[in-house]
Amino acid sequence: MKKISLYLTLSSLLAFTGCEKFLEQPVDQRTQLDTVEKVSELLATAYPQADYATFTESLSDLAQDKGVGQGIVEPENRDPYFFQDVRYREEGSPDFYWYAAYKAIAAANHALETISKASNPEAYQAQKGEALLARAYSHFMLVTLFSKVYNPQTAGTDPGIPYVTTPEKVVLGQYERGTVASVYEQIEKDITEGLPLLSNQAYRIPKYHFNTTAAHAFATRFYLFKKDYAKVIEHANQAFPGNTIGSNLRPWVNVYSTLTANEGLAIYTQASQNANLLLVEARSLWARNLAQYRYGLATPVVNRLFRSPNVTGARWIFPLYTQGEENWLVLKFREHFVREDINADIGLPYTIFPLLTAEEVLFNRAEAYLELNNNTAARTDLNLYASMRIEDYNANTHAITDAKLRNYYGTSNVKQGLLAALLDFKAAEFVQEGMRWFDILRHGLTVIHPIAEGQTLTLPPNDPRRVLQIPQEVVLSGIERNPR
């Protein structure tokens, strides 16, 4: 039996009789959440098992129209590029991500309820910490994508998203969106309460759970959006104590760039890679289609990001591959196709995504330093990054200087130049991961999308289309959709 909620579909209207009592029963009558191990298994599903890269990459300025006949055209790729609400509900769509996030929140809340009723709740402290962090993460992603970006002056009135803290046990439960400020307050509360409870020894493969490093990494992202820059630096340094972040960055120069294509596809999302702090296996066609979509990484962007010298005077080491004339990709994702049974030709596609990485922590810290007017520390972080992405790096030749910033970006304002460099570095590092969209939101960057037929589409900073549309059926739960 299905029910309408924030995380399930409209098919629940088929039947109501007895639903309330049904919802009070365990999902699987054979399984009672009565041990630490079972709660831990449940928490493996407390992360959105869906990708945002499909639509956020297409929304961003890293996507270009490759031209008529170049690549495949699907609504989850085309509609975001045209700044239109996505007319699609399955993998890679905002609707699919919305439901996956609230489904993850439901798992976290179910775990928390179980822990609160356990006879020995002290044995579940690590699981409680993970559930709180996982709940905070999903709500943060939802408020970032489906509400206006956090602004201290307007967050108290900007509509947020429902912050759900209890398992749903009624049909058509009613919810309020609250405000962006109230959502941020609850996210921070869950982070603050949950982080000290975490234990890296609680899980066999910690990279698929909120380990302590991942939790601090998430905190750097949250506080960067909240503009609490001192806490960004604090959590970055706690994620990698003793300034060990450099040894945890991806070894593109010494390792990745020497691999074959198959080896490169296999290694990027492995739990063994120090840079991967939190991973999720999501139902997604991204690995299969990312290079083939018509609206994506194209030659003009490739030339700007990878084939031309950056502000250091050198080019990045990232190896580029093509699947046809215009279908570019950096080796990151490999599809895992799960057949319905061993003899079946049909099944579901999955892709492993890094939700949090060491590189993001470094960039978040550098940006926080800039916002606190510590240009020297920010420059040090950016030079550290460059040393791991430039072949035969030489500090005397490649370090970022004021003269390089002035000549490359045309500004004598060192802070502005360093910020421009940081955003360029991030664009190259996270290409085809959907991360550029979050910088566009936070910095109010205008996005311009040229169309092969000659038109140009523009998405300015205050355009309501920057806020993704909430699924149609959630209005039945009392939630107002975003203006258009």
Mean pLDDT calculated for residue range 399-426: 98
Tokens representing 22? 């049904």
Let me know if residue 312 belongs to a domain: yes
Sign of dihedral through CA atoms 244, 246, 249, 254? negative
Task: Report d(CA 103, CA 81) in Å as an integer.
Answer: 27
Question: CB of 48 within 8 A of CB of 138?
Answer: yes
How far, in Å, are 181, 221, 336, 350, 480 from residue 206 at the CA level?
31, 20, 20, 20, 38
- Pairing relationship of beta strands 320-322 and 328-330 according to DSSP bridges: antiparallel
Using only C-alpha atoms, the chain has a radius of gyration, in whole angstroms, of 22
Mean pLDDT calculated for residue range 448-462: 95
Q: Residue 36: name the closest of 113, 97, 127, 119 by CA.
A: 127
Comparing 476 with 160, the larger pLDDT belongs to 160
pLDDT (tens digit per residue) in 257-278: 999 999 999 999 999 999 999 9
pLDDT (tens digit per residue) in 338-347: 877 777 778 8
Q: Identify the DSSP state of 354.
A: E
Full-model pTM? 0.92
Let me know if residue 201 belongs to a domain: yes
Task: Report d(CA 66, CA 75) in Å as an integer.
Answer: 16
C-alpha dihedral (102, 106, 111, 117), degrees to nearest 10: 140
Let me know if residue 256 belongs to a domain: yes
Let me know if residue 3 belongs to a domain: no
Let me know if residue 254 belongs to a domain: yes
Let me know if residue 340 belongs to a domain: yes
Let me know if residue 14 belongs to a domain: yes
Write out the residue range of the structural domain in which residue 344 sits: 10-477
Which helix (H) or strand (E) covers residue 278, if one does? strand 276-283
Mean pLDDT calculated for residue range 370-377: 98
What is the percent of the chain with per-residue pLDDT over 70, rounded to a whole number? 93
pLDDT (tens digit per residue) in 421-454: 999 999 999 999 999 999 999 999 999 999 998 8
Residue 247 confidence (pLDDT) above 70: yes
The burial class, CB within 10 Å (0-12 / 13-18 / 19+), for 208 is buried
CATH of the domain at 270: 1.25.40.390
Let me know if residue 484 belongs to a domain: no
The pLDDT assigned to 31 comes to 59
- Pairing relationship of beta strands 276-283 and 347-357 according to DSSP bridges: antiparallel
Task: Report d(CA 156, CA 147) in Å as an integer.
Answer: 12
204 band by pLDDT with thresholds 50, 70 and 90 = confident
Could you give the number of structural domains in the chain? 1
Q: Residue 61: name the closest of 447, 441, 443 by CA.
A: 447
pLDDT (tens digit per residue) in 16-31: 334 444 344 554 443 5
Which residue type is seen at 18? G
